[in-house]
Amino acid sequence: MAVLVGKKAPVFSAEAVVNGGEMVEKFSLEQFVGKKNVILFFYPADFTFVCPTEIIAFQDKIAEFEKRDTQVVGVSVDSAFSHWKWLQTEKKEGGIKGVKFPLVADNAMTISLNYDVLAGEYDYDEEGATVFEGTPMAYRGLFLIDKAGDVRHQVVNDMPLGRSVDETLRMIDALQFFEENGEVCPADWHKGDEGLTASQEGISDYLGKRD
């Protein structure tokens, strides 16, 4: 699994569905560079079980992301039409109607491959034909990309393990606290807590307060 933290987020241009039903041909994260942070998260597939709980949870707290100048973007290997259909389906019928943030179509699996969250890989069989070994879906990868287009945080879960939206918000808060104050965030830091200076004195002072 590649570690992308500290590196430029891989670029892409792909079909997506935005605003709950508008299909666009060339969606790119470049439109947010210099303007917004991005939470880019991958999920295995449309019309599944854990995935809608995560997607709806992100939508339920979308105002919190907006307050933090952060754009949420979802990606799966499904087609843009599949995304569109799922977005038109009522929640009681297994859909995600009401979700407004972009869902990107990665049916060529190249975005998942470049972010190294694809649950399998291409290989060659004995006859030299290209085959795919593994599961042609993405793990539950999540990347916090700052306004400069750099990856600052990543986490990858196996497919059965849903993610925490609150933890995602906490990481955005930690990044913004560091950017604004120059202080680092200790274990279990939450917005409103004190940070600490990256020095032995700062660490000793912080630990002393916890005794």
Instruction: Write down the H helix ranges in the chain.
Output: 50-60, 62-67, 80-88, 110-114, 165-181, 200-210
Report the DSSP beta bridge partners of residue 143.
Answer: 40, 154
Closest CA to 97 of 141, 42, 46: 46
- Which residue in 109, 35, 44 sits closest to 74, CA to CA? 44
Q: Would you give the distance in Å from CA 78 to the centre of its chain?
A: 16
Three-class secondary structure of residue 177 per DSSP? helix
Active-site residue flag, 185: no
Cα separation of 176 and 183, whole Å? 10
Q: Point out the catalytic residue in the list 4, 9, 29, 51.
A: 51
Burial 75-113, CB ≥16 within 10 A → b, else e: bbbbebebbbebbebeeeeebbeebebbbbbbbebebbb
- Rounded Cα–Cα distance for residues 86 and 105 (Å): 13
The catalytic residues are 51
